[in-house]
Structure 1
């Protein structure tokens, strides 16, 4: 009996060790999987009931029930930062607000709050949302539909895609199934799920109105965002826009929420609306999930986006350009410049070529190229078809990363004009001492050491001693950094972030023409 008992005990212990070892191995395997692969494992273990696409009279009850628990309310707390860019006044008004008040009043800035939505894509707490929902957050709180609350941390974010990945410390959370945005059809029914206008979880229905929309909303800070972007500005932008357009009702607070098809599959992350009033007017825009998948996987693996670059600047074909360049083609992108050390130059593409296809797919507009490339990383290969002198050729390119980027003629000119902008500002800068940065709680900065007569800083009352942390969104730590950042000035507006005192950040625009 004792022998049998010992044998049984050994078998139980051995089995437990084996199971434990397998679980540890399984967890390590999961850690190395993409979010899409994780979801396949999840749904293989938890098949549930297949939700069928609606036919006849639409019935979205199954899709809504499946998706709603996985869409969360994101509540953000920020330090007092003055105007976040939502006002409609001129750039001059902001200077009065930030610098036209007595010194003793500047310390009275109170913490601000904002809210948005997010989508749980992994049971262990990974949530995708918009960059603009969390970019200024000091504290992020996530509230589930069952009222559970968690504090979240940012894993990665990128304004060029308006995407962010955050994480809460929890397991066994409900998730929203990732779909395939490439299969979405114009006219297809979709649901928008989120937390608009301070309301609790809300579901609205509509259709896909268009695909591959570029609206220019990511190219400027929020206070400058609009829809009238010109071709020349399109070709030098680092932002990637290829939105799904929908007429499902989307409002403030829906940002970062889910756009799902009638089967309850996530096809987009709601991001923006076009409206003359700031509220729903029938035009909402969502980031395609096939683009978002790659971005959030990058966030998880690297903390930032690893972008591959073709190495060209381009513009879409217009009647004016066709006449100017003697082009008969209707579709394609006209190559304006070729980066000296880029992938396109290595493949023999030249200025004046017309890019017509990428990996066999016709290029109708800039999003067709940008979204496809944005899903890839440096080292990946693409087939690019182009026309030169009426003859079509195909080449294979190996995408290069940021470090391989060279300056185009436009960038060289911008660099040259940076010195002119520097002089117009009428100020001198010195690197902020480490003690000063520590005192103000910042990691970068230059101090305005002098304000010269007749300059823009003097005109607007910018004072000596202001610590500037960023110019045009780029951290600055030296005079060279300031000049380099000024080279990316667009529309004659210099964007500046400063810290007058600890816990108080100001962000303002400097118009170069006034």
Structure 2
């Protein structure tokens, strides 16, 4: 039976450009065919992603939909299909990728221009039909004075004013004519910036480069300090000091219904602010592409997140970062309509997880992942994750687990399949002790297990 190597899938090792081997698709809560993923897909047995699409897009265009054709929809944005009833899916990274991102941005600008021209045309026709002025000469319509006062604390305007200076746009070039834009935010005043791995991955190869653009309009080159494909996180560094720093919150205190504010550069439109609420917590999500699957214990939000928002902060009503915007779900063209943008399904990496990874990368250039030392059976129908093999000398063996046991919970959190197990374990740190609910034979027991560590370098 195909098995998912928990060691390999939690290693976060670099697999750029590697094609994933075909295999049975796991029953992923937060994932289904057609959703983009990033991570160690080859070892996990995930279906091979199309290497031409860093993220999942709509089906191949018909001639009428080709770039530049009249009425053509923008292509290349990281969209994914909506799951069937009762089935969640792993969304695509919300990053504006490659030259396509630029085409979409240009298309948006062209659309605005066309609207302006159309408006002038309509006004001219109206004037030709009648010589009557829209307002009588000398008429002054009533208007209130501009409100230049500071907005109250906790308002979206006040939060945006405080957080915007800490948010940056990241422009990536792969050195081969490709590239794209994403977002990030300042972790330290001496130039350390956090973003998604998929935002900067193209620049990690020879000839690639990164440019960081600040809210004041200045741009400076940046270098990659380290990255983690499994967590879809990266730290970059610019040679600047005295930068305004984002305030990190505590994602353990986030609750469904809390206010969320997303800030970033969707479609290259830097400094864009959208708002919503926390729609769900602990959403198991796999995201990415090119053979690199990231497993995210995501915060779900209905704040509008679009390609280019990736790596930007998701903040609360106090302006504290609670997550790193990483992925979106979209209808795409699977429902017979045109490609669409945000449908209110955005996903962010919890800041507590991101903080730990960033601290390790800044200190050592590497990050560690918690492991339990098992391989799980991808064909097991559930509920739970069935252990196919136990790593000799690993944490699971030390805890007394054996092949055939089924893990049904982690610290009380119900586990429905192998991906949920990986996502749940990844939300902890190496050295943490967790209680596993284990179905063994005809009974179920609680097993205390201390998580091991697997270190990777991006």
Moved more, 380-389 or 64-73: 380-389
Pairing of 1:43-442 with structure 2 (within 5 A): 59-80=155-176, 111-137=177-203, 138-218=208-288, 220-221=289-290, 239-275=294-330, 276=332, 277=339, 279-314=341-376, 321=382, 332-358=384-410, 360-365=411-416, 369-371=421-423, 373-374=425-426, 376=428, 378-402=430-454
Contact 2:370 2:452 in 1 (8 A): yes
Contact 1:385 1:392 in 2 (8 A): yes
Change (3 A) 1:126 1:372: farther
After superposition, give the CA deviation of every residue in 1:31-63 in whole Å (9 maximum; x if it has no partner): xxxxxxxxxxxxxxxxxx9x965xxxxx31221
TM-superposed CA distance for 1:71, in Å, is 0.6
After superposing on structure 2, the runs of 4+ consecutive aligned residues of structure 1 that deviate more than 6 Å are 315-318
TM-superposed CA distance for 1:173, in Å, is 0.8
Contact 2:252 2:352 in 1 (8 A): yes
After superposition, give the CA deviation of every residue in 1:102-132 in whole Å (9 maximum; x if it has no partner): xxxxxxxxx3341111011111111110111
TM-superposed CA distance for 1:133, in Å, is 0.8
Contact 2:179 2:202 in 1 (8 A): no
TM-superposed CA distance for 1:194, in Å, is 0.3
After superposition, give the CA deviation of every residue in 1:46-92 in whole Å (9 maximum; x if it has no partner): xxx9x965xxxxx3122111111111011122211xxxxxxxxxxxx
3-state SS of 1:155 partner:
strand
TM-score by length of 1: 0.52
- Unaligned 5+ segments in structure 2 are 1-149, 333-338
Contact 1:212 1:367 in 2 (8 A): no
Contact 1:212 1:368 in 2 (8 A): no
Change (3 A) 1:299 1:190: same
User: 2:190 & 2:260 partners in 1: Cα distance?
Assistant: 27
Higher relative CO (Cα under 8 Å, sequence separation at least 6) belongs to 2
| Residue correspondences, number | 295
Contact 1:317 1:333 in 2 (8 A): no
Contact 2:262 2:275 in 1 (8 A): yes
TM-superposed CA distance for 1:195, in Å, is 0.9
Moved more, 378-387 or 253-262: 378-387
- Unaligned 5+ segments in structure 1 are 1-48, 54-58, 81-110, 223-236, 323-331, 404-473, 476-514
3-state SS of 2:287 partner:
coil
User: 1:278 & 1:352 partners in 2: Cα distance?
Assistant: 44
3-state SS of 1:118 partner:
strand
3-state SS of 2:267 partner:
helix
3-state SS of 1:298 partner:
helix
After superposition, give the CA deviation of every residue in 1:4-30 in whole Å (9 maximum; x if it has no partner): xxxxxxxxxxxxxxxxxxxxxxxxxxx
3-state SS of 2:367 partner:
coil
User: 1:378 & 1:297 partners in 2: Cα distance?
Assistant: 14
Change (3 A) 1:401 1:364: closer
User: 2:254 & 2:195 partners in 1: Cα distance?
Assistant: 21
- Which structure features the higher share of helix residues? 1
Contact 2:286 2:295 in 1 (8 A): no
TM-score by length of 2: 0.58
TM-superposed CA distance for 1:388, in Å, is 2.4
Match of 2:118 in 1: none
